[in-house]
Structure 1
């Protein structure tokens, strides 16, 4: 059973505000980096091949920031599929430094064609997304 997609990200200077902690919009960039890496590594669909013909814009996102992250921290991201709809995909993601939670987020992306019209997931991609479903995960 797959327990989720994992990725690490070091907190860089560019992610921080003058106090040396992650400025919250930078978390969204890192979250998107994890999603893009997931599409490339886990799904075999890098965005540079995916996006000329279709896209996956974010329709909804909700995040709870638990503790600050600081310049130099190594964050562990974990992504699991919460649901796969006909044209949508909802995932949950957590970020932690060592064992300390830093954020948790849930987002829904919509699979659209080149015109921006929601379109069903191809069967092969749907199966890969489903393989990362959370099974009684927190």
Structure 2
């Protein structure tokens, strides 16, 4: 079984915790987005790791291509809203949320124990391009707010998967976003084409290996 990290970033204001299956992970040090990610067992930081139990789209449990309910991979980012994130009204400029959600997706790959580029190289993938995205803005976020962004796979299909991003402040949901991404391979005529998600990758997303 592949060990999956519970990790934290030593950089502030943005840090990350990855959660998956209660599996211990020791000694992880990686470079991601220019930062060093370290084992969360260091002093003063909890080393807990959990399987996602959050509900999926429209209140249903996360499902696979056959409609079977699953508990799925998730990761959590902690971020402080900076001055440059905001518009003249002093609230977060809405495209910033999508940038943070994309970062959350990157950390989902990290949470499998195999960063995205390694995963693609190992399984012949060309990328996981975004084919659909949307967001619901429930309340604004302002300069200086400390927010938590939880990203989790809520639906796993044959070629595509859906990710839900939930941004909260003090436990209150401020923004909820969704992404649909497709596993692709190189194609000599079209450049990229959709392909079935390799079973080992799907198992990582399901928390099975």
Q: TM-score, normalised by structure 1?
A: 0.84
Gaps spanning 5+ residues in structure 2: where? Answer: 1-20, 22-50, 53-73
Change (3 A) 1:116 1:44: farther
3-state SS of paired residue (2:192): coil
Q: Residue 30 in 1 paired to residue 106 in 2?
A: no
2:114 equivalent to 1:45: yes
Which of the two has greater helix per residue?
1
Higher relative contact order (CA 8 A, sep 6+): 1
Query: Which residue pairs with 2:156 in the alignment?
Result: 84
* TM superposition shift of 1:50: 5.0
Q: CA deviation at 1:80?
A: 2.1
Give the drift of 1:49: 3.8
Q: Who is 1:71 aligned against?
A: 143
How far has the Cα of 1:71 moved from its partner? Answer: 1.4
Cα RMSD for the two superposed structures: 2.0
1:20 & 1:130 partners in 2: Cα distance?
40
**Number of residue pairs matched by the alignment:** 131
Distance between the aligned counterparts of 2:207 and 2:117, measured in 1?
Answer: 23
Offset at 1:98?
1.3
Deviation at 1:56, TM superposition (A): 0.9
**1:136 alignment counterpart:** none
Match of 1:127 in 2: 203
* 1:6 Cα offset (Å): 1.6
What is the match of residue 95 of structure 1? Answer: 167
Runs of 4+ in 1 over 6 A off after TM superposition: none
Partner of 2:39: none
Quick check: which has more Rg, 1 or 2?
2
> Given the superposition, is the C-alpha separation of residues 34 and 97 from structure 1 closer, same or farther in structure 2, using an over 3 Å criterion?
same
What is the TM-score when the length of structure 2 is the normalising length?
0.57
SS of residue matched to 2:201: helix
* Structure 1 stretch displaced more, 29-38 or 110-119: 110-119
Aligned equivalents of 1:107, 1:81: Cα separation in 2: 9
Q: How far does the alpha carbon of each residue in 1:33-86 deviate from its partner, in whole angstroms, 9 at most, with x for none?
A: 11111112x123324445675111111112100111111211111122221111
